[in-house]
C-alpha cells in the first residue's frame, strides 16, 4: 500500500462517520434546489474528491474538543464553497475536464455553471447563518473574499513571466491556503478555544494549504493525465506561470550561456500560442528538471509541511492532534 494511502486511511477512519453525515447534509441541500441546480450540484458531489477540507475541519474541531452537529454543518459549508470555486475556476479557465470527467461548463455551458456556482456559495452561507455565530461568518466572509481576489489577481497575471516567489505565494494563499486555514480556524471556534489556539490552528491550515497548492503545481509537471484527471501542463497552456516554472526561469536567468534565453523563449512561445504548437511539452518539463526547479519547489513544500506541524505544538495530545500531524504528510505524498 502506498504511503499516502496508508496515511489517508488513518486520517479518514477517525472522521469517517462524520464525513458520511457531511455527505448526507450536502445531498439534502442539493435536493432542495430547483432542478437545474440540483442536477449540477449532484453531478459535482458524485465526482468524488478527497473531502480533505471538511475532514480538516472535523479533525480541528476534534482537537479543539468539539464534536457535534455544528461541525457536520460547517463541513458541508466548506465543501460547498470549495465546489463553487471549482465550478467558477473551470468556467474562467475554459477547462473541459475535472477529476477525469467533463467539467460542468463542458456539460451545461458557462451561464448555467456560473449560476450553479453562485447558488452553492449562497446556500453555504445560508447554512452558516443558522449557527447564529458572528465569528463563523467573519471567517467565511474573509476567506471567500480572499478566494475571489485570488481569481482576479490570477487573471491580471496571465501570460506574465516576471512573477516572483512572493507573487506566487500570495496567490496560492488566496486561491487555496485561506480555505485550509479557515477550516482549521473554524474547528477552534466551534471548540471555543482561546485566541492562541485558534491562531495556531489557522497557521497550521495556512501552511498545509500552501504545501497543497505547491504539490498541485508540481504534479502539473510530473504526473500523468490519468493521475491528474486533466491534461498535464494545463496551467501553462492557460497562461499561468506557477512556482516551479518561476524557479526555472530564475535559475536560467542566473546561469551563463545562451540556454537562459532559449528556455525563456520556449515559455514565452507557449504563453503566446496558449498551447503546445511550436513547443513540445517535454521541452518545458526538461527545463524545470534540469534547472533544479522541481527539487527547489519540492523542498519548499517540505518546509511548509514542517511549519504546519510546528503550529500544533501547543495543542494537547489526542488522536485528533495525531491525525492533524499526518495530514501534511498525506498532502506531500499525494499523486493527484
Query: CB of 228 within 8 A of CB of 311?
Result: no
Mean pLDDT of 271-285: 94
pLDDT at 231 over 90: no
Instruction: Determine what percent of the chain is predicted with pLDDT higher than 90.
Output: 81
Please, which pLDDT band fits residue 49 given cuts at 50, 70 and 90?
Answer: confident
Q: What average pLDDT does the segment 87-108 reach?
A: 91
**CA–CA distance from 129 to each of 115, 122, 336 (Å)?**
21, 10, 34
Task: Tell me the C-alpha to C-alpha distance, in Å, between residue 112 and each of 94, 108, 109, 116, 119.
Answer: 14, 6, 6, 6, 11
- The pLDDT, as a whole number, for residue 7 is 58
Q: For helices 178-190 and 52-63, give the axis angle rounded to 10 degrees.
A: 30
Categorize the per-residue pLDDT at 36 as very low, low, confident or very high, splitting at 50, 70 and 90.
confident
Q: Per-residue pLDDT for 33 more than 90?
A: no
* pLDDT of 3 over the 70 cut: no
Residue 298 has a pLDDT of 97
Q: Which domain holds residue 240?
A: 3-333
Which CATH number does the domain housing residue 177 bear?
1.10.600.10
Domain count, the chain: 1
Distances (CA, A) of 181 to 10, 92, 135: 22, 24, 14
Mean pLDDT across 75-94: 94
Average pLDDT over residues 222-234: 78
Strand ranges, E, within 50-196: 97-98, 101-102
Residues constituting the chain: 336
- Note the pLDDT tens digit of each residue in 190-206: 999 999 999 999 999 99
| Averaged confidence pLDDT in the chain | 92
CA dihedral sign, ordered 170, 172, 158, 104: negative
76 contacts 41 by C-beta, under 8 angstroms = no
Q: Specify the pTM.
A: 0.93
Span 312-334, mean pLDDT?
Answer: 95
Query: What cell was used for 160?
Result: 506574465
CA 197/CA 214 separation, integer angstroms: 26
CB-neighbour burial class of residue 299 (10 A; exposed 0-12, middle 13-18, buried 19+): exposed
Q: In 3D, which of 216, 286, 217 has the Cα closest to residue 252?
A: 286
* CA–CA dist 281, 272 (Å, integer): 15
Give the model's confidence band at 256: pLDDT under 50 very low, under 70 low, under 90 confident, else very high. Answer: low
Amino acid at each position: 500500500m502506498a504511503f499516502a494511502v496508508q496515511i489517508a486511511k488513518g486520517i479518514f477512519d477517525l472522521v469517517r462517520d462524520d464525513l458520511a453525515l457531511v455527505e448526507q447534509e450536502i445531498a439534502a441541500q442539493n435536493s432542495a434546489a430547483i432542478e437545474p441546480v440540483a442536477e449540477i450540484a449532484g453531478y459535482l458531489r458524485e465526482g468524488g474528491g478527497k473531502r480533505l477540507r471538511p475532514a480538516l475541519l472535523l479533525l480541528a474541531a476534534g482537537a479543539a474538543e468539539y464534536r457535534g452537529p455544528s461541525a457536520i454543518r460547517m463541513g458541508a459549508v466548506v465543501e460547498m464553497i470549495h465546489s463553487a470555486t471549482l465550478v467558477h475556476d473551470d468556467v474562467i479557465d475554459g477547462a473541459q475536464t475535472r477529476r477525469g470527467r467533463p467539467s460542468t461548463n463542458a456539460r451545461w455551458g458557462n451561464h448555467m455553471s456560473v449560476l450553479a456556482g453562485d447558488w452553492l456559495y449562497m446556500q453555504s452561507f445560508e447554512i452558516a447563518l443558522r449557527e447564529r455565530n458572528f465569528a463563523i461568518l467573519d471567517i467565511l466572509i474573509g476567506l471567500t473574499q480572499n478566494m475571489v481576489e485570488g481569481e482576479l489577481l490570477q487573471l491580471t497575471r496571465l501570460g506574465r513571466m516576471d512573477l516572483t516567489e512572493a507573487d506566487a505565494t500570495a496567490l496560492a494563499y488566496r486561491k487555496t491556503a485561506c480555505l485550509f486555514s479557515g477550516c482549521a480556524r473554524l474547528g477552534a471556534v466551534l471548540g471555543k478555544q482561546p485566541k492562541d489556539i485558534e491562531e495556531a490552528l489557522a497557521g497550521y491550515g495556512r501552511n498545509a494549504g500552501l504545501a497543497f497548492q505547491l504539490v498541485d503545481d508540481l504534479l502539473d509537471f510530473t504526473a500523468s493525465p490519468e493521475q491528474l484527471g486533466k491534461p498535464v501542463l494545463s496551467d501553462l497552456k492557460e497562461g499561468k506561470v506557477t512556482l516551479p516554472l518561476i524557479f526555472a526561469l530564475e535559475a536560467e536567468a542566473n546561469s551563463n550561456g545562451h540556454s537562459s534565453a532559449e528556455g525563456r523563449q520556449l515559455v514565452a512561445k507557449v504563453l503566446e500560442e496558449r498551447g503546445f504548437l511550436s513547443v513540445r511539452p517535454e521541452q518545458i518539463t526538461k527545463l524545470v528538471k534540469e534547472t533544479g526547479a522541481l527539487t527547489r519547489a519540492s523542498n519548499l513544500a517540505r518546509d511548509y509541511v514542517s511549519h504546519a506541524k510546528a503550529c500544533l505544538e501547543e495543542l494537547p495530545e489526542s488522536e485528533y492532534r495525531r491525525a492533524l500531524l499526518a495530514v501534511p504528510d498525506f498532502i506531500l505524498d499525494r499523486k493527484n
